[in-house]
Every structure is written in C-alpha cells, then in structure tokens.
Structure 1
Amino acid sequence: MSVVTEVAFGASERQSERALREDLAAAFRMAVLFGWHESVGNHFSAAVSGDGSTFLMNPKWRHFSEIKASDLLLLDAHDDSVMDGPDAPDPSAWCIHGTVHRSNPKAKVLFHCHPPNATALATLKDPSMKPIDLNTARFFGKVAVDLGFGGMADETEEGLRIAETLGDKPVLIMGNHGVSIAAETIPEAFEHLYFFERAAETLLKAYATGQPLAVMSDNLAAKTAAEWEPYVGMGYAHFDHWKRELDRSQPDYRD
C-alpha cells in the first residue's frame, strides 16, 4: 500500500465521532507526556460535522492527564447557550475554538496550548520561525503570526482576529501568548505541534549562542518544506505509536 493510500485510509477511518473522541483523548494524554500542558487550561478540539461547526472539546478546567473520550463536550459553534451548560468551556476556549470552527471549515482540528519553546518564541519581538535546519524549514510559508495580543483571549473581536490571521495556515504563533495548530486530522495536528515545538527549541538554542544564524534562502527553504510533504504518513505512524503506548499504560483514555 502506498504512503498516500495509507494516509487516505487512516484519515477516513478516524472520521466517526467515536474514533475522533478516542484520538482527541489520546492527544490530551500525549500532551502531558511531552510537557505541552499547562495546569488545567488550554484546549484541543476536533470537528464532527462536515462544515466544522459541531465539534468536540475538553470541558472546563479538566487536567489533560485525566481526560477520557466520554468527557469531551459536543458543541455547536453557532449556539452561544453552550456556555450556560454543565462543564461549559471557559470563555477563552469558546472565543478561540468556537470562532475558528464557525468560520474556517478547513480547520477540522485545532490545538491551542502554551508549550515551553513555542511560547518562548512567541515572546520575541520577531517570533517568526527562521529556516535554519530541516525541522525549522518544514514550516516555511506555513506559519501565521498574530502580534495583536490584547490580554486573555475571551472577547469576540479577539476570536475573530485569531481566526482571520490563522487563515489556511497550519500554525499560528500568538505573540505574547502561545501557539495554535490547525489540521485536517488529529494525527496531523499532533505531528505539526510535535515538530513545531522541536523547531522552536532549535531556533532558541541557536539564538542563545549569540552567533549569526545560517538562515536558508527562500528558495532552499521552500524546497525543503516541499520535500516534507510526501512524509505526511509519518504523523499517523507516530501518533499510533503513542496510542499503543497509552493502551499499555493509560487505557482508560478510550473510556
């Protein structure tokens, strides 16, 4: 079976609500393993409906390490009354995820978190991802940057600006805040986040030397980014590896 066929099959197999619930619950547990979580905040979501407006998201203030498939809220991005329900998401979660899912059907999956290196990068005056190695170049032309930080993202205008700035990019660096990752599937979002955090770590370490960066030319960076495309199947294999690890150590994520 070709890589492309494997990817297409893997994606189609993950479209049922039950499968999405299990994959999303697994992603929360993986975030803890990699140290991407922060207290009981931050949010991951995945669209269930074709138009993206019906989506799954973690309930308010539930630690990522405890989230199970059955805990995930099924929300309607067009229904603000969900904020009055039990375990309603916090205002910033609704502001970011509700707006993106309501306005951008292509962003089927949205991860918002504050991983250490990506967040540190977001605090720089120039938080752009410079293509200085294979992993940083992976994101050339694929990162949007929002420098309009206005405090806690819990106002309508903030959500609209975030959604508009993200556009069709898989990564949004949120200045003075953190990072948001958008993708068609949960494994692809996980892989984007994994590599972006690694790339941010490399860039920050390079900055810390005080030496000039060997930044690739735009042509070389674009070529390198394009060379990553046939490797999309890596994301599914990587994600499934960690699901098998969870099945051995934390099988309750599927409950």
Structure 2
Amino acid sequence: MSVTNLKPNMENWQDRVDLAAAFRWTARLNMHEAVANHFSLTVNDDGTQFLINPNQMHFARIRASDLIVVDANDPDTLSRPDAPDPTAWGLHGGLHRHCPHARCAMHVHSIHATVLASLADSRLPAIDQNSAMFFDRHVVDEGYGGLAFEEEGERCARLFHDPSQKVMVMGNHGVMVIGDTVADTFNRLYYFERAAENYIRALQTGRPLRVLSDDVAEKTAQELDGYPEQSDRHLSEIKALLDAEGADYAS
C-alpha cells in the first residue's frame, strides 16, 4: 500500500513526497556527494518560496516532512534555527530570484557530469540519443569562482537567461538541472548523467566520435522533448519501487 498520504494536513504534501523520492533515488544511483548537494521546488506563483533539503542531511534519509520552506527574498534566511546549507541558499536562492521559469532545481556532483565539468571543453556533443536530448539545451559555466555562497550563486543563476537551456555544466564543480516539476527535472538529471557517462567512455576509447549532424540532433531533441509521459512515469515507478520496499520517504 502506498504511504504517500500520511500527512495530508501539511502544505504541498504531494510535492514534498515527489521531491523526497527524488532524493532517495539519487542516493540509490550514487549521483549525490556525501551531504553536499541540494534540490529545490517552488511552492508559490512567482517562484520565490521554495522547498529545499535540510542542512547537510543525507539524501538517503530525507522524508517529505523533513523539507523546509524558505523565501528567496528573505535576507535573514541563514539566521533561522533551521537554516539551509549556505551554499544551497546561495545557489537556489539566487536561482529562484532570477529565473521564474526554474520551478524545480537539482544540483549534484555526480561523477560523469563532474568529469565533463573538469574538461577544458565541457560541452556535451550529440553522439547518441541520450546526448542529443541536450543539443543546444545546456549552458557551460566557465567562470567558477569558489564555493557557491550568495555572490557565486547569483552569478551562476544569471547564466540561465535562456529558458530553453535547462542544464548548466558548472565548470570545475558539477551540474545544475532545472525544470517544471520534480519528475521533469529528475528525468533530465538522470539522462544528463547517463549521456555524460557515454561520452566520457567514448573518449576513453581514443577512437574518433560519430557526432550527429545538427539537424538530426535537433530533430531528436524535439522528439524527446515531446515524448509522452516519460518523466511522470519514471518518477511514478521510482515511488512504486520505494513503496514496495516499505521506505519511509513519504512520511
């Protein structure tokens, strides 16, 4: 039996459940890094109030009721007794102040995306169907300036000025993925990591890459953009697997 409705009196409960499931599965896939990464989801119309994970809590333990709500326009956020991690506040506060189209944001130091971020050329070429999904839809940050406290977070947020670009390869750092919902964003995060892994493994062969033409890459990206129900079904299946295990993510 699903346990996704144990706290119906808590605001934004289904959003909380979805985000908690995404945290749990990200840890399951080893795409997190210790307690250093963070996800957020807006809960008001203008996108300035958002759910975010508690300060340095491991993704594998996060429950729906653990998530905190903060306001991107509240300068006293880090003075709260339940203040988020300061780099989470720097990155996600800046993002939700400047990018209303970023309803959900997921930042990780996943292995292959971070390897990509460590290359002199951190662009992801369209060499297969997964990487074609991101053709002309990702931006590379080449100005890393240290830990993502408020000034660095603001700088990163301003690179998401084109709503069609929903992935930022954070040079020398990791990856930030944005989207409309938890399902949409997590699905994109998952596929970007898989695409980066395929690319890194292809480079390791030392053989020439078979890069798709721009026309075919764009056609494939558009087809994947419109693929019916994939992201929602992906998250639904993750929750079904967690529920079958008796996981407490939805509590």
Q: TM-score of the superposition, structure 2-length normalised?
A: 0.93
Corresponding residue number in structure 1 for 2:50? 55
Partner in structure 1 of residue 17 of structure 2: 22
Q: Deviations over 1:203-242 (max 9, x none)?
A: 0011111111111121111111111122151111111001
Contact persistence 2:113–2:175 (CA under 8 A):
yes
Q: 2:147 aligns with which of 133, 149, 152?
A: 152
Question: Out of 170, 176, 195, which is 2:172 matched to?
Answer: 176
Q: Which residue of 1 aligns with 2:250?
A: 254
Which residue of structure 1 aligns with residue 230 of structure 2?
Answer: 234
Which residue number in structure 2 is paired with residue 74 of structure 1? 69
Q: Give the counterpart of 1:218 among 214, 219, 228.
A: 214
Alignment counterpart, residue 155 of structure 2, candidates 149, 157, 161:
161
Partner of 2:117: 122
Q: In the alignment, which residue of structure 1 is the partner of 2:198?
A: 202
Alignment partner of 1:84 is 2:86: no
**Cα deviation 1:157-176 (Å, max 9, x = unaligned):** x1222111122221000000
Give the fraction of aligned pairs with identical amino acids, expressed as a percent.
45
Specify every segment of 5 or more residues in structure 1 that has no aligned partner in the other structure, as ranges. Answer: 1-15
* Residue in 2 that maps onto 1:107: 102
1:150-189 residue CA offsets vs partner (Å, 9 max, x unmatched) = 1111142x12221111222210000000000000000000
Unaligned runs of 5+ residues in structure 2 are: 1-10
Tell me which of 185, 192, 195 is aligned to 1:189: 185
Q: 1:105 to 1:250 in 2, by over 3 A?
A: farther
Instruction: State the TM-score, normalized to the length of structure 1.
Output: 0.91
The residue identity in structure 1 corresponding to 2:42 is A
Poorly superposed stretches of 4+, deviation over 2 Å: none
Bigger CA drift: 86-95 or 57-66? Answer: 86-95
Deviation at 1:250, TM superposition (A): 4.3
SS of aligned partner of 1:173 = strand
Number of residue-to-residue matches in the alignment: 239
In structure 2, distance between residues paired with 1:87 and 1:60: 8
- Cα distance in 2, alignment partners of residues 78 and 48 from structure 1: 14
Q: Distance in 2 between matches of 1:209 and 1:80?
A: 50
Structure 2 CA distance for aligned equivalents of residues 117 and 250 of structure 1:
31
Q: How far is 1:89 from its partner?
A: 1.1
Aligned to 2:138: 143
User: RMSD between aligned alpha carbons?
Assistant: 1.1
Other structure's SS at 1:145 match: strand
1:38 to 21, 26, 33: 33
Letter of the 2:215 partner, please give it: N
